[in-house]
A and B are shown apart, each in its own frame.
Chain A
Amino acid sequence: MTEFHTELSPIVLVDLALLTMLMFVAIAMLRSRHLFAVIMLSGIYSLLSAAFFVSLDAVDVAFTEAAVGAGVSTVLMLGGMLLTARREKPVTPGRAPVALAVVFLTGAALIYATIDMPAFGDPSAPANTHVGQAYVEQTPKDIAVPNIVTAVLASYRGFDTLGEVVVVFTAGLGVILLLGVGSVRGGEPVRDRPDEED
């Protein structure tokens, strides 16, 4: 088996630039106490990850990330922020040596584990050889739709996607039950205070 090396092509440099920006946005999100800024930064984070997914040729994932992560969740979080405070409560910084040690050890173990991972873009990596290759080869014969991602999502893994839709439905149901819209048959919506009049 020959050793695979990723060349330092312009695409890899773009990836590195995007990942660096992702890291800085994440640090800025951790440090900011202003919730509006944090929500905007999380939108930027999603948009940067969408760009990163495009450079990895995962356009379907990038599309979802841009629409859901950068678009709708930013709006929903702004709506959520309006119901609470504009600023996070100030936290007094403390020293927690045990937590620091645990985080440090876990991080070191994860970085050590990446040494054994296949090189970036290696065609003989396990992810590209077994199931992935089977989908690429079988989709034109089994499903005959051009977009393999859709074939996997809606046909090969149709049952999983049904589960995902039920998850989305359950999320909506939970919000309806907690915040209350009243019943379809004409029940009363829930009010914050019982003496409140419309």
Chain B
Amino acid sequence: MQHLILRVTTKILFTPIILFALYVQFHGDYGPGGGFQAGVIFAVAFILHAFCFGLEETKKALPQKALTIAMVVGVLFYAGTGLATMLLGGNFLGYDAIDPESTHHAGQHYGIILVEWGVGVCVASTMLTIFYLFTGREPDIDPEDW
């Protein structure tokens, strides 16, 4: 646990990266971005953490079990939004059924935010799962190999 500068920088950078991911997530219908990009940026914050503090520390902060559940939740959240609009009397993923009285398509807005949330959760947890499983297999690198 040397590399003081790296540790401090990672701690400073971690929160803004998460905040940026949330901005990209919820600002996707106004500017560039959306669930896919936000999920990846969210995962990158934890990958940076794993690079600096080691994978075991990251796994304590965000265990694999939580990621496995989040993967399923993300997909089901998206599909569930579609089912909810069906139960409200619209088509599958026909978001206007969420708020049929609105004059400016507020239902579309709600629907897009809901499905993008599902996308973000699924992408972030899948990326981290793949990262955990690939990097978790080899304990450390022999410097001679580089």
How many residue pairs, one in A and one in B, have C-beta atoms under 8 Å apart? 154
**B40 in contact (CB, < 8 A):** yes
A1 and B111 alpha carbons, distance in the complex (Å): 42
Give the contacting residue for B126; candidates A151, A171, A180; CB below 8 A: A171
Mask: chain B, 119-130; 1 = CB below 8 Å from A; 0 = not: 100110111011
**B15 in contact (CB, < 8 A):** no
**B101 in contact (CB, < 8 A):** no
A176 and B31 alpha carbons, distance in the complex (Å): 34
| Residues of chain A within 8 A of B115, CB atoms compared | 154, 158, 161-162
The residues in B between 92 and 146 inclusive whose CB is less than 8 angstroms from any CB of A are: 92-93, 95, 104-105, 108-109, 111-112, 115-116, 118-119, 122-123, 125-127, 129-135, 137-138, 141, 145-146
A168 and B137 alpha carbons, distance in the complex (Å): 22
Given contacts A146-B30, A165-B119, whether A76 and B112 have CB atoms under 8 Å apart is: no
Give the contacting residue for B141; candidates A60, A82, A169; CB below 8 A: A82
Besides the contacts A144-B108, A169-B72, A172-B125, what 20 more A-B pairs have beta carbons closer than 8 Å?
A60-B34, A71-B40, A71-B44, A82-B134, A83-B137, A142-B105, A143-B108, A144-B105, A150-B112, A151-B108, A151-B112, A154-B112, A158-B95, A158-B111, A161-B78, A165-B75, A168-B126, A172-B130, A176-B68, A176-B133
**A105 in contact (CB, < 8 A):** no
Q: Check B111 against A154 for contact (C-beta < 8 Å).
A: yes
Would you call the interface of chain B mostly helix, strand, loop, or mixed? helix
Q: Check A171 against B130 for contact (C-beta < 8 Å).
A: yes
Would you call the interface of chain A mostly helix, strand, loop, or mixed? helix
Seen from chain B, the residues whose Cβ lies within 8 Å of a Cβ on chain A are 24, 28-34, 36-37, 40-41, 43-44, 47, 64-65, 68-69, 71-72, 74-75, 78-79, 82, 92-93, 95, 104-105, 108-109, 111-112, 115-116, 118-119, 122-123, 125-127, 129-135, 137-138, 141, 145-146
The residues in A between 174 and 189 inclusive whose CB is less than 8 angstroms from any CB of B are: 175-176, 179-181, 184
Q: Check A79 against B105 for contact (C-beta < 8 Å).
A: no
**A80 in contact (CB, < 8 A):** yes
The residues in A between 94 and 136 inclusive whose CB is less than 8 angstroms from any CB of B are: none
A122 and B77 alpha carbons, distance in the complex (Å): 41
**A149 in contact (CB, < 8 A):** yes
**A68 in contact (CB, < 8 A):** yes
Is the interface on chain A under 10, 10 to 19, 20 to 34, or 35 or more residues?
A: 35 or more
**A75 in contact (CB, < 8 A):** yes
Given contacts A162-B93, A169-B71, whether A175 and B133 have CB atoms under 8 Å apart is: yes
| Residues of chain B within 8 A of A143, CB atoms compared | 105, 108, 112
